Amino acid sequence: MDETLVRRSKGALATGDAVVFVIECDDAARSAIKHLLESVDLHVVPFRSAVEFLDSGIPETTCCLVLELRLPVMSGLTLQKELTKANIQVPLIFVTGHGCIATAVRAMKAGAVDFLSKPINEQHLLDAVFTALERDRLRRAQEEALSLLRKGFKSLTPRERQVLFRAAAGRLNKQIADELGLSEIMVKVHRSHTMRKMNAKSFAELVRMSDLVQSELLASGMHESAPRAAKLRKQFR
Per-residue pLDDT reduced to its tens digit, 163-204: 999 998 899 999 999 999 999 999 999 999 999 999 999 989
Q: Say whether domain 14-146 belongs to CATH 3.30.390.30.
A: no
Q: How far apart are CA 200 and CA 167, in angstroms?
A: 14
| Ranges under pLDDT 50 in the chain | 1-14, 222-237
Domain boundaries, the chain: 14-146, 155-236
What pLDDT is stored for residue 146 in this prediction? 86
pLDDT at 117: 92
Q: pTM surpassing 0.75?
A: no
CA distance 165 to 147: 19
Which CATH number applies to 155-236: 3.40.50.720, 3.90.700.10, 1.10.10.10, 3.40.50.150? 1.10.10.10
For residue 71, give the nearest of 90, 108, 45, 98 by alpha carbon: 98
- What distance in Å separates the CA atoms of residue 94 and residue 103, rounded to the nearest whole number? 10
**pLDDT (0 to 100) of residue 16:** 58
Q: Where are the alpha helices (DSSP H) in the chain?
A: 27-38, 50-56, 76-85, 101-109, 122-154, 158-168, 173-180, 184-198, 203-220, 226-236
